[in-house]
Amino acid sequence: MKSVALHNLGCKVNGYEMDVMQQMLQEKGYKIVPFDEPADIYIVNTCTVTNIADRKSRQMLHRAKKLNPDAVVVAVGCYVQTDEAGVRKDAAIDLAIGNNRKKDLISILENYLKQREYSIDIIDINHTDEYEEMCLKKTAEHTRAYIKIQDGCNQFCSYCIIPYARGRVRSRKEEDILREVEGIVAAGYQEIVLTGIHISSYGLDRGNPELLQLLGKLQEIAGLKRIRLGSLEPRIVTEEFARQISGMPKICPHFHLSLQSGCDSVLKRMNRRYDSGEYFHTTELLRKYYDNPAITTDVIVGFPQETEEEFKVTEAFVQKINFYEMHIFKYSKRQGTNAAVMEGQITEAEKGRRSAILIEVGKRMSHAYRAGYIGKEAEVLFEDRHEIEGHTYWVGHTPQYVKVARAADSAENLNNRIVTGTVTGFLDDEILLME
């Protein structure tokens, strides 16, 4: 029995695909071992979203070869897809597999093991309309499963390499999604998170937006308690969209709306397809149909040519929206994108200063949002036991993805149970306490 060590870099889509690859390996009899242990085969599912991600991918591949120079080192995914020349020159890599070929991992790997000849398997991702069908039966998490519904992106934001790594929008067949979710629910999972490279585009490659239709079908699956949406483009949230999903009680009132900047001139340079007014309207629609929804976002600071005045506009805008959580990213050059060659690149020190300001703003908004639950009832899906300051707690999340803890009774097992109780205060800065 050959041993395999796996390491995943990057997004939730990569995570889903790695879970399926591990599942395929286990079904074929391979033994999965931790990445820092000696293994016969090392598989690194790479990321290429920034130059730093490329470097981390190479570092993990080189680390694998150092752990066992005789091992087969396999590079998989986005870095392979965008830098074929670099992959071919890298002596640490024995086998390279691009995107849309992960489903064939076993046959590609076993063919290599017979031949023992360097191999690289990459398709022209920009000229395929095939969705790579993979099916997840279980995941490392015990309560929540990520479900991939589409791949690829047609947006071509000026800072982003992902359309070149993942290709154009390709939507998964509805029946395959429903079959996978039914299997996941039968395995005991109560919550799913719909993920993809650009889930707002689901169905557009077939001529029509189909996300609402899919949500309606998922809503009907018996035993499924929660449906959580991955990142959405603001423009998908029309009055009709907000009205319809508000009538689907399994949809979690937790919406991640990608912002990137609150300043229209910066949004234009980024080639985003909306302005701040449209974004604000989207959040108002969600708040019209939901009572206190959790709205989260991503913001990039220090985009090329971003002036202090433009940054201040973004700072004011995020406070106007009043987000539950913000993920703040310092702009990072990605070779091959338009933004990387723009004039007016911002210094790392200035990007750091702006990032620190928005992180502090985000902490204040997040604390205020959580504090709003004190004294109210909350429904929590408990996931794990944790030791916190010498005491044992069950910890889980509300539908809004607010983390809540409850003191653990040694005789009580709350794993994968949904419990309703009253929030009494903060356990720490990020976790509320429930009785």
Q: How confident is the model at residue 153 (pLDDT cuts 50, 70, 90)?
A: very high
Rounded CA gap, 221 and 244, in Å?
Answer: 17
Mean pLDDT for 189-195 is 97
Q: What is the pLDDT of residues 112-125, one digit of tens each?
A: 999 888 888 898 89
Domain with 249 in it: 144-371
Q: Which residue has the tokens 């390996």?
A: 25
Per the listing, tokens 């309309």 go with 129
Same structural domain, 273 and 350: yes
Query: From the CA atom positions of the chain, what is the Rg in Å?
Result: 22
The mean predicted confidence, pLDDT, of the chain is: 96
Q: Do residues 162 and 49 lie in contact, with contact meaning Cβ atoms separated by under 8 Å?
A: yes
Of 326, 331, 280, whose CA–CA distance to 301 is shortest?
331
Among 352, 371, 390, where does a domain finish? Answer: 371
The DSSP bridge partners found for residue 407 are 393
Q: What is the CATH number of the domain that holds 153?
A: 3.80.30.20
Cα–Cα distance measured from residue 229 to residue 232, given in angstroms and rounded to the nearest whole number: 8
Position 2 pLDDT exceeds 90: yes
Looking at the structure, tell me whether residues 87 and 166 fall in a common domain: no
Q: Is 332 helix (H, G, I), strand (E, B) or coil?
A: coil
Q: Does residue 382 share a domain with residue 314? A: no
pLDDT tens digits along 278-309: 999 999 999 999 999 999 999 999 999 999 99
User: In this predicted structure, what is the pLDDT of residue 139?
Assistant: 83
Instruction: For 209-261, write each residue's pLDDT tens digit.
Output: 999 999 999 999 999 999 999 999 999 999 999 999 999 999 999 999 999 99
d(CA 170, CA 293): 30
Number of domains in the chain: 3
User: Residue 262 carries which side chain, given as an amino acid letter?
Assistant: G
Within a domain: 132: no
pTM for the full predicted model: 0.94
